[in-house]
């Protein structure tokens, strides 16, 4: 064996070796032993990718992801490379033996894409994210509130996907009354997504906030309902009443715009001054317990209602008239049957003389303690014969209760 050190084989074309070396990040001027051309070894620095002499090819997608301007092999002919040239063949071999770099590139691209996708998803699907005034739902809800602010009830209802089931509280008159008491100003969308829009505004100068449901139907933004639903159960107010001057029949569910509202009575006998406001289109707006107070007119009317009740009972000429402060047996103490059609009753005193009507706090009722005296005449049937009864006197101590939670008011009796 020769003592001379081995030398690397001389390449047939020195320019090819120099070109490949520069493409792999080496300077041929400082290579003592470039080694086999098909084993470049681990590369810490791929070298400048913009070397015009380099022919090392990268995967197309990895090349674009890493920002490298080196064209893929498929584009080599178009860019002036000769596929028959030894340098080009060497570049293809180099590409095939660099799978780690291609894999790393794909991993980086995949991770970046995943991060971007996750970020976009959570921003886009946030329950209510920061508002963007260029998004159509925002402008749609703004348009709805602006229609209300200028008193345009029809324009506000045009934002709904269907007409309301009841329009008594959705009229221009009811809306105008609301705006006279509490104008809608300073409308500003603060948050939104594709199903809800949150808006801050002022109602009568007071800051309020509301959330409005929206939906896109047939490419058009709309509201499932362009009104709230006012719930008025019997426990809140069991009688006809007025809201902003519009008469309602009593308990029920009523469509209503955002705004300021005043509940008043349909009769002079009661004083009702219940105020509430609606700030958005929620379907569960509760009226709340409505306090009632009997007026002086109500006290006078209560005496009228009591008088009517007594006259009805006495004038019925019945032993057991319905809803009256007295009821008598249909037989005498000796067991004789009283003939119903023969009964006659007559009032013998003025039950309302000196009577004071009182009220109960929070209840729409008038109460009066009474003493009623009356006589009863009639006939009995004895052995097939009709025999007149002796006139009998009766006295009843009772409390009359006139309830104004319905129209017309009702009257009842509680014996003492």
Residues 40, 57: Cα–Cα separation, whole Å: 14
In the structure encoding, which two tokens stand for residue 218, read together?
Answer: 């047939």
Is pLDDT above 80 for 261? yes
Which band of pLDDT confidence, cut at 50, 70 and 90, is reported for residue 228?
A: very high
In the structure encoding, which two tokens stand for residue 165, read together?
Answer: 């089931």
Domain segments of the chain as ranges? 14-103, 136-286, 296-415
Cis peptide preceding 207, ω within 30 of 0: no
Cβ neighbors of 317 (< 8 A, separation 6 or more) are 343, 344, 345
What is the third-level CATH fold of 296-415? Answer: Nuclear Transport Factor 2; Chain: A, (3.10.450)
What mean pLDDT value characterizes the chain? Answer: 76
> What is the per-residue pLDDT for 374?
94
Domains 136-286 and 296-415 share a fold: yes
* Rounded average pLDDT over 12-35: 43
Residues 115, 412: Cα–Cα separation, whole Å: 75
Please report which helix (H) or strand (E) contains residue 306, including its range. helix 296-315
Are the C-beta atoms of 176 and 244 separated by less than 8 Å? no
Are the C-beta atoms of 345 and 375 separated by less than 8 Å? yes
> What is the per-residue pLDDT for 327?
86
Q: How many CB atoms neighbour CB 123 within 10 A?
A: 10
> What is the per-residue pLDDT for 102?
55
What DSSP state is assigned to residue 267?
A: S
What residues does 403 pair with on adjacent strands?
A: 365, 410
Residues 210, 280: Cα–Cα separation, whole Å: 5
Residues 283, 271: Cα–Cα separation, whole Å: 28
**Phi-psi label, residue 106: left if phi above 0, alpha if psi -120 to 50, beta otherwise:** alpha
pTM for the whole thing? Answer: 0.58
> pLDDT tens across 279-329, in order?
999 988 999 888 888 889 999 999 999 999 999 999 998 888 999 998 888
Cβ neighbors of 135 (< 8 A, separation 6 or more) are 192
> What is the per-residue pLDDT for 302?
94
Residues 297, 384: Cα–Cα separation, whole Å: 54
At 136 the three-state DSSP class reads helix
Percent residues over pLDDT 90 in the chain: 45
What is the third-level CATH fold of 136-286? Answer: Nuclear Transport Factor 2; Chain: A, (3.10.450)
Nearest to 336 by CA among 378, 276, 281: 378
Which band of pLDDT confidence, cut at 50, 70 and 90, is reported for residue 110?
A: low
Are the C-beta atoms of 237 and 263 separated by less than 8 Å? yes
* Rounded average pLDDT over 367-389: 89
Is pLDDT above 70 for 33? no
Please report which helix (H) or strand (E) contains residue 114, including its range. helix 99-124
**Order of all β-strands in the sheet with 285-286:** 252-256, 228-232, 285-286
């Amino acid at each position: 064996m020769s003592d001379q050190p081995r030398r690397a084989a001389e390449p047939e074309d020195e320019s090819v070796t120099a070109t490949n070396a520069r493409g792999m990040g080496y300077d041929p001027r400082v290579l003592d032993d470039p080694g086999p051309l098909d084993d470049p070894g681990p590369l810490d620095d791929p070298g400048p990718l913009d070397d015009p002499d380099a022919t090392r090819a990268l995967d197309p997608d990895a090349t674009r992801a890493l920002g490298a301007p080196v064209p893929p092999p498929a584009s080599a002919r178009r860019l002036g490379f000769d596929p028959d040239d030894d340098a080009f063949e060497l570049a293809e071999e180099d590409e095939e033996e660099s799978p780690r770099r291609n894999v790393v590139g794909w991993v980086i691209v995949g991770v970046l894409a995943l991060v971007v996708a996750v970020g976009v998803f959570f921003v886009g699907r946030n329950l209510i994210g920061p508002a963007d005034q260029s998004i159509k739902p925002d402008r749609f809800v703004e348009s709805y509130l602006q229609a209300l602010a200028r008193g345009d009830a029809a324009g506000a209802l045009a934002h709904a996907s269907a007409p309301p089931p009841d329009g008594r509280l959705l009229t221009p008159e009811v809306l105008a009354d609301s705006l006279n008491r509490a104008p809608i100003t300073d409308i500003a969308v603060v948050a939104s997504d594709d199903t809800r829009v949150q808006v801050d505004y002022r109602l009568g100068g007071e800051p309020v906030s509301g959330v409005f449901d929206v939906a896109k139907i047939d490419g058009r933004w709309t509201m499932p309902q362009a009104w709230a639903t006012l719930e008025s159960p019997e426990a809140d107010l069991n009688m006809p009443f007025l809201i902003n001057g519009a008469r309602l029949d009593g308990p029920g569910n009523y469509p209503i715009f955002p705004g300021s509202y005043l509940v008043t009575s349909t009769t002079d006998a009661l004083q009702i001054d219940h105020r509430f406001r609606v700030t958005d289109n929620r379907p569960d707006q509760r009226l709340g317990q409505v306090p009632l107070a009997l007026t002086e007119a109500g006290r006078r009317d209560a005496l009228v209602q009591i008088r009517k009740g007594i006259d009805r009972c006495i004038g019925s000429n019945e032993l057991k008239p319905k809803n009256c402060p007295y009821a008598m047996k249909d037989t005498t103490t000796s067991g004789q049957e009283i003939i119903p059609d023969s009964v006659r009753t007559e009032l013998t005193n003025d039950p309302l003389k000196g009577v004071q009507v009182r009220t109960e706090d929070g209840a729409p009722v008038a109460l009066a303690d009474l003493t009623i005296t009356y006589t009863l005449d009639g006939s009995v049937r004895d052995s097939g014969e009709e025999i007149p009864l002796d006139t009998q006197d009766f006295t009843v101590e009772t409390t009359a209760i006139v309830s104004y939670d319905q129209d017309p008011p009702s009257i009842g009796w509680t014996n003492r």
